[in-house]
Structure formats: C-alpha cells, structure tokens
Amino acid sequence: MTKICVAGAGYVGLSLAVLLAQRHEVRLVEINPAKVALLQQRKSPIVDKNIEDFLAHKELNLTVGSDAKALMQDAEFIIIATPTNYDPKLNHFDVSSVDAVITEALEYAPQAEMIIKSTLPVGYTKEASVRFNTQKLHFSPEFLREGMALHDNLYPSRIIVGTENPEAGQRFAALLQQAALKPDVPILIIPPTEAESVKLFSNTYLALRISFFNELDTYACKKGLDSKAIIQGVCLDPRIGDFYNNPSFGYGGYCLPKDTKQLRANFEDVPNCLIGAIVESNSVRKDFIADSIIDMRPKRVGVFRLIMKSGSDNFRQSSIQGVMKRIKAKGIEVVVYEPLLKEDLFFNSRVERDLNTFKAECDVILANRAAPELEDVKDKVYTRDLFHNV
C-alpha cells in the first residue's frame, strides 16, 4: 500500500483521490472548509455521479482535511491538483497555488515524489525544478471531462508522465494503471516539457474541432443551407469521424479557453496562423450567435442554464455567458434560469427560479443544448444543438 497525498479537491484532485483510495492510503488536502466538511461526510462537492457513488458506497482509505503538514508527512507521492487560472493581463497561467504546494511538500515531505496534475505553461516543471532545487518534480497531464472525471480515470485513453526520472515516472503510472478498469492502458514516459505540450496541444485540437464545426454551422446559417446534412456528409469520412461535431455557442469550461490562450502565448515567438485563429474563432462565433438573437428584436431574452452541459455544475467560461453579455450590451433585458444559482442576480440580470414563469415571460430562450423541459415552447428556443448530444 502506497501513501499518497493529493492537494486540491477540484474535479481532477478529487477523482484521483477517490480512484487511488481503493487500493492505497490517500490523504486529500483542501483549503475550502465547506468542501472538507462535505467530503468528511462522504458527500461530493462537485457534480460527478461516479464520485458520488464511490464516496457513498465504496470502501475507500481516504482522509480529508486542511492541515497540509499532518497530511503530507511520510507520503511517498504528493499529487498537486490545484487550479491554475489563466491571467489575461500576464498572458500566463497563475501557478502560485502550485508553487505554494511545492514549498509545503519540500518542507513537510522532502522524501516524496511530486506529481503535478494542474495544467501548466510549457516549461514550468523544468524551470521550477531549478528554482526549488529538486529532482522530485514531475508532470502528468490529465484528460478528463467535466462530470465524467472519475469515469475517465477508470477508463483512461492513455497515461502520460513527464519526468527526468523514468523509474519514478513508471512507479506513478503503475499506480494509475492498477486502479483503472480498462486493460492495457498505453503508458508514455517522456520529458516534462513535452508532457506539458501534450496537454495544451490536445485541448487546443479539441477546441479547433469545435470551432471548425461551429464555423461550418455559421456558414450554413448565413447561406440558408442545412447544417446538419453537411455535417453528416463530412463526418461519414472515417478520417474525420462522427464526434465532437455538434454545433454550439462556442467552446468553454475549465480547460479549453485557458489552455488555448496559454498555448497562443507560448507561440509568441513562433510563426503561426492556426493557433491564434482558434481563440479568435470562438469569439467570432459568440458574436454571430448574439447578432442572430439581436436581429429578432426581442424585448426579453431568457438564458436557459449557465452550465456547459448536462451533468456538470460548472459555470466558468461557459459560452452562453459570452452571448448573454453581448445581448445585454444592446440594452435587451436578459432573464436567467439556473437552478444551481443561489443569487438573485447574475451579471445584473434577474434569476428566475420558476421554470414555467421563465418560459412564459421570455420572447426568445437561449439554450446551448436542447432540453426536454423546453419542448412545449420549442418555437421560442434558439439553439444550435443539432444532434442532441454533448
């Protein structure tokens, strides 16, 4: 049994803690007291059906608290999964939380191998290893979907560890592989800077694919063509495939907006056209959606759900918020229906909690994804969801 400490109870850290606590002794450090209280009651602070089920019904060797010193001591691995939000002023991820955990780990558990799961700017692991004078710092990119984080750890597409110490990297990869339900998971041990690049390029490719089909949809709308028919024809080509092709209001969520912007910043001194265009395309798509609504001349627009998709509780960087702000800038009243919101106002727009009232009082209802609750007012609904999937 390996002693593992996980820093951060977001969807990455919590899913890993639950995954590994099936076989090993796991201590989860979280600074938010509300999250700690919930987890100590074996309740999940995030929406993820598998995490909720494991916490409630599985036998897990999991301790949760806020005392980093007590929980880190004698750990063999410390997994760093703290948030690294993108700072638009600095054109850089804010890595201060990662720096803080490394400082604590070196003080409280100098014997531990530190595995960073937080998304990083390219080159951070190598630079931090020099700055902190340690050979125990490694980076392992995660490839998790919101609301499906534990599922994606149980059935990973691949396990990648970026390290200058292949032996330590193999030991950590083995922990993840042994806890997974998927057999024969590909494992790749590569240098840390290459691993950081894999994460950013992977997410930027997904953003590219979303942007491509959104621009196809914009073209079809402007030309009076059947967007769904075009997409179906394009995606019958097996080289293209029938996935990540459902038009939306733009990509959003925890990862894609910040990762694409960080990669664009990393390309500052490198010739490129495509990477920067992906970020710009997402903004142009929101302009098109907002203009389409404004052209309808509605008196009151309803925003149906702020979350990115069903099964998620994340509002952050959701594309519908960008559309909403553009519509409000034209003086059009916006009403929000979002059951997960506790506030009465969201960006100075009224939050309506009664769905029937919401549907009755809005001229147009914006829905990034179609929902059965709106079927009775589908003539009011504006969505680009053509295939009714994520």
Residue positions annotated with a catalytic role: 255
Nearest CA to 359 out of 279, 281, 305, 295 is that of 305
According to DSSP, residue 305 is labeled -
Please answer whether residues 150 and 48 qualify as being in contact, where contact means their C-beta atoms are separated by less than 8 angstroms. Answer: yes
Nearest CA to 247 out of 390, 133, 84, 128 is that of 390
Q: Please write down the HEC assignment for all residues of 227-254.
A: HHHHHHHHHCCCCCCCCCCCCCCCCCCC
- CA 29-31-37 angle, to 5 degrees, is 85
Side-chain half-sphere of 311: how many Cα atoms within 13 Å? 14
**3-state class of 187 per DSSP?**
strand
Alpha-carbon distances of 21 from 36, 178, 185, 362, rounded to whole Å: 16, 12, 20, 48
Q: Which two tokens stand for residue 36?
A: 């700690």
Name the percent of the chain in helix, strand, coil, to the closest 5: 45, 15, 40
Cβ partners under 8 Å of residue 215, min gap 6 = 281, 285
Please answer whether residues 17 and 6 qualify as being in contact, where contact means their C-beta atoms are separated by less than 8 angstroms. Answer: yes
CA distance 281 to 219: 13
Q: Which two tokens stand for residue 81?
A: 């999964």
